[in-house]
Structure 1
Amino acid sequence: MFAKTLKTTLLTLLLTTAAYADDITLLATMGSKAIFQVNGQKKTLQIGQMVGGAKIISIAADSAVIENNNGRQRRLGLGEGYVAETQKQSDGDGSLVLSPNPSGHYLADITIAGQTQRGIIDTGATHLSMSSKTAETLKIDYRSGKPALTQTANGVIKAWLVKVPQLKLGTVTLYNIDLGVRESNDAGPILIGMSTLNRFQMKRDQDLMILSKKAY
């Protein structure tokens, strides 16, 4: 039932965005081989083989790393799904289909200036936000932004509000996104808040989160 619903959802997205994608889910690993479900069909594959529109880079006891046609790598845990595009999307459109991780959170890649970090979808956060340590890794000149204060579990700390000229959420390019940077050395995930999410139409299909970029 889940696979049928997912295939119906993906077909709708393909017709809407004129993109082509493969639905890939890691089901099990067996040494140097792994069992994937690709567009509803089970396949046993090994390192170096193609799984849908992606290539298998490595296989571990509870995960596998795949690489899409854009050279981007993605680690899949057991039971985790991924939509691998077989054609590049233009900046003007795009959709993401996200599956929850074992903790029930939705994760997506954030790419800024060619550097990619994992982020967690947080509809309760006003801005895309990260620690100053992460911002430095991404070479963001956050100290030139607007000074602010933010409330954390450890009290009120210094922060900055800056605007990122261009970034990618997954494969979708976005422009002029407000970013909050808190003064902290923690290496926790980036919080993908509403300054990013409001660029998308959001909907749920069972446990899937579907983000479709709005047309402006």
Structure 2
Amino acid sequence: MRFFSLLLIFALGCHAGIVNALPDIQVNGLMKNQAVVTIDGVQHILKKGKTSPEGLTLVDVNTQQATFEWQGETVAMGLTSRIQTSFEKVDKSSFSIPKGPDGHYMTLGKVNGRQVQFLLDTGATVVAMDYHDADRLGIRWRSGRKSMSSTAAGLVTSYQLTLPSVTVGHLTVSNVQASVIVAEMHGPLLLGMSFLQYFDMTEKNNTLTLEKKY
């Protein structure tokens, strides 16, 4: 990766005065006609042919890779691959999430190393999911502590348990309290305070930044 970065810097240098430095790009998800990318720490969902606020255009995408254009330069990247044009240490203490069109903050993340979609919910005490998601993630939820949870549909049976790890961007918390709802949620997992309590949350310009508390 270091050698590749050096080659990239050299290539960009050949166009000095024409092409600005390529931002820090990470591919988090590849879907039909769109890609989830993190650009300089800010996550975006880019549709094919669209350009991010930073000026990065998604030219083409499939399940294997995404092709981007940056000021006339074309770069192909696979899932989770990353390009950086400097050797400065990446700030892993914070992560930014843009507000969605519906006014909510949603982001890709991982539960026990498996990819999920989260909806940030400061009103939720714990990370919450329905039993279908729990089964998909290989969680043995029936061994949890049985209880009742209040939902929009009323009281439902739930199981309280501890997740070994929850990750958003490059932020990981171990031993996170969670609730598995024995009902249909039909949506993303709720990222509640059992994860969010470890971060300061700052909202600015329709972007929410999570920063580790020290």
Above 0.5 in TM-score?
yes
How does 1:1-216 map onto structure 2 within 5 Å?
A: 21=40, 34-37=49-52, 39=54, 42-44=55-57, 46-47=59-60, 48-50=66-68, 67-69=79-81, 93-215=92-214
- CA positional deviation for 1:151: 1.5
**Kindly tell me: are residues 23 and 97 of structure 1, through their superposed partners in 2, closer, same or farther at Cα, counting changes over 3 Å?**
closer
- CA positional deviation for 1:184: 1.6
Instruction: Look up the match of 1:62.
Output: none
**Kindly tell me: are residues 26 and 176 of structure 1, through their superposed partners in 2, closer, same or farther at Cα, counting changes over 3 Å?**
closer
- CA positional deviation for 1:195: 0.7
Summarize deviations over 1:40-95 as a string: whole Å, max 9, x none. Answer: xx35552243457xx668xxxxxxxx84426xxxxxxxxxxxxx9889x89x9431
Count of aligned pairs between the two proteins? 167
Summarize deviations over 1:150-175 as a string: whole Å, max 9, x none. Answer: 12232211111111111212232211
Question: Equivalents in 1 of 2:79, 2:206: separation in Å?
Answer: 24
* Contact 1:25-1:38 at 8 Å conserved across structures: no
Question: Equivalents in 2 of 1:130, 1:94: separation in Å?
Answer: 26
Unaligned runs of 5+ in 2: 1-38, 61-65
* Contact 2:56-2:68 at 8 Å conserved across structures: no
**Kindly tell me: are residues 23 and 185 of structure 1, through their superposed partners in 2, closer, same or farther at Cα, counting changes over 3 Å?**
closer
Larger radius of gyration: 2
**Kindly tell me: are residues 126 and 51 of structure 1, through their superposed partners in 2, closer, same or farther at Cα, counting changes over 3 Å?**
farther
- Does the residue aligned with 1:136 lie in a helix, a strand or coil? helix
- Does the residue aligned with 1:187 lie in a helix, a strand or coil? coil
Q: Cα RMSD (Å) of the superposition?
A: 3.4
**TM-score (normalizing by structure 1):** 0.64
Give percent identity, aligned residues only.
Answer: 26
- Does the residue aligned with 1:49 lie in a helix, a strand or coil? strand
